[in-house]
Amino acid sequence: MRIIISPAKQMRTNTDVFACSSLPVFLEKTECLMHWIRSMSYEEQKKLWNCSDKIARENAGRFVRMDLRSNLTPALLAYDGIQYTYMAPAVFEDGQFAYVQEHLRILSGFYGVLKPMDGVVPHRLEMGSRGSGYTLQANAGTGAPDEGSLYDFWGDSLYREVTADADGQGLPQSRTIINLASKEYSRCIEKYLQPEDRFITCIFGEIEGGKIVQKGVYAKMARGEMVRYMAEIHAEEPEQLKSFAWSGYRFDPARSTDRDYVFIRTKVPGKGRK
């Protein structure tokens, strides 16, 4: 069983708490993206990132100085967003780190797929980013897919990596995927699913006007808590997720299906896990 999550826009450097155990599997393709972004003018970079001048200048400077093999932070500690705050990996116990290292995969527009302890550097490149007036070379000058579409650049490689066995010893592929990623990122996997795959999306919502409404901040909190919960109980089967209960969220069997596990919040969010 694999768990997929999205990255966060904000990143930090933390080289003191844990040492990285590996480099990202698609580092050569990441180098291609790095050189592609370096080749742009500042205005092209800003358009690609779709951000303020302050953020664009910060990231332009990052790419000028970028070294993908030194001063690295473990991916799980590098991202600084709501989901990661509520996951709280910095206080994981050893068994929890071992669990997420085997089961959790972070999808990234820049790195493709990351294991939690892969070493990364701060960057900005969202999966939905598109080029305009310049092309993204997929592999050392071969191909220029869709004027910079990262979906085309990565193709089915992210799906293949997510479903590959963890240790390379020829074990059966992971055919159950727990989707805790946004649609922008889950699209990279869902597009290539095979009949034998089981893809389960966790939906965290409230009932308003008879409809399920997902509220972004609360849903991100719950996704982080779900990863933490799975690591705590060392979940190996999707059925175990149904016991998740946090801040008023409870599994709703009537609204759930084999593909969608729906958790409905019935109380105002409190502090911590209920």
CA pair distance 62, 64, nearest whole angstrom = 5
Q: How far is C-alpha 73 from the chain's CA centre?
A: 16
List pLDDT tens digits, range 241-266.
Answer: 999 999 899 999 999 999 999 999 98
- The rounded percent of the chain whose pLDDT value lies above 90 is 76
Q: Considering only CA atoms, which of 80, 59, 41, 167 is closest in space to residue 115?
A: 167
List pLDDT tens digits, range 71-105.
Answer: 999 999 999 999 999 999 989 988 999 999 999 99
Distances (CA, A) of 179 to 13, 184, 200: 27, 12, 6
Q: What mean pLDDT is predicted for residues 138-159?
A: 67
Distances (CA, A) of 22 to 38, 119, 124, 174: 25, 6, 21, 21
pTM over 0.85: yes
Q: What is the pLDDT of residue 145?
A: 38
pLDDT band at 135 (very low <50, low <70, confident <90, very high): low
DSSP 7-72: --S-B----SS----B--TTHHHHHHHHHHHHTS-HHHHHHHHT--HHHHHHHHHHHHH--TTSS-
For 109, counting Cβ atoms within 10 Å of its Cβ (0-12 exposed, 13-18 middle, 19+ buried), the class is: buried
User: For the chain, which residues make up each domain, given as ranges?
Assistant: 2-265
List pLDDT tens digits, range 99-133.
Answer: 999 999 999 999 999 999 999 999 999 998 865 44
Query: Average pLDDT of the chain?
Result: 88
Q: Considering only CA atoms, which of 154, 145, 210, 212 is closest in space to residue 184?
A: 154
Q: What is the pLDDT of residue 274?
A: 43
Which 3 state secondary structure label does DSSP give 198? Answer: strand
CA pair distance 188, 183, nearest whole angstrom = 9
Q: Considering only CA atoms, which of 196, 118, 185 is closest in space to residue 163?
A: 196
